[in-house]
């Protein structure tokens, strides 16, 4: 996937920063990233889904999940 234009990337970062995840959800997101990096796709998707169930507007979790599922 090509990198985003700088303005669009900055807008996404700003939006992501406005969402304040509780510590437990932030840890789930971090565990999902670790699972993704370790090639444990099913585990990563499940953890991203748990975060998105509580915070459906969290675009970074959507993006990371889509990078695995293609959706």
Q: What is the pTM of this model?
A: 0.74
Q: How many domains does the chain have?
A: 1
47, 28 Cβ separation under 8 angstroms: yes
Q: Is residue 47 part of a domain?
A: yes
Q: Is residue 26 part of a domain?
A: yes
Q: Token pair 């700003």 is at which residue?
A: 14
Q: Is residue 11 part of a domain?
A: no
Q: Is residue 60 part of a domain?
A: yes
Average pLDDT over the chain, rounded to whole? 86
- Work out whether the CA dihedral 70, 17, 52, 24 comes out positive or negative: positive
Q: Is residue 44 part of a domain?
A: yes
Q: Is residue 8 part of a domain?
A: no
| Domain hosting residue 60, numbered range | 20-69
Tens of pLDDT, residue by residue over 21-48, are: 899 999 999 999 999 999 999 999 999 9
């Amino acid at each position: 996937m090509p990198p985003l234009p700088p303005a669009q990337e900055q807008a996404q970062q700003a939006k992501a920063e406005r969402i304040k995840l509780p510590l437990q959800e932030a840890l789930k997101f971090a565990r999902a990233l670790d699972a993704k990096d370790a090639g444990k796709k099913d585990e990563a998707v499940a953890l991203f889904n748990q975060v998105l169930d509580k915070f459906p507007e969290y675009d970074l979790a959507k993006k990371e999940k889509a990078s695995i599922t293609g959706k």
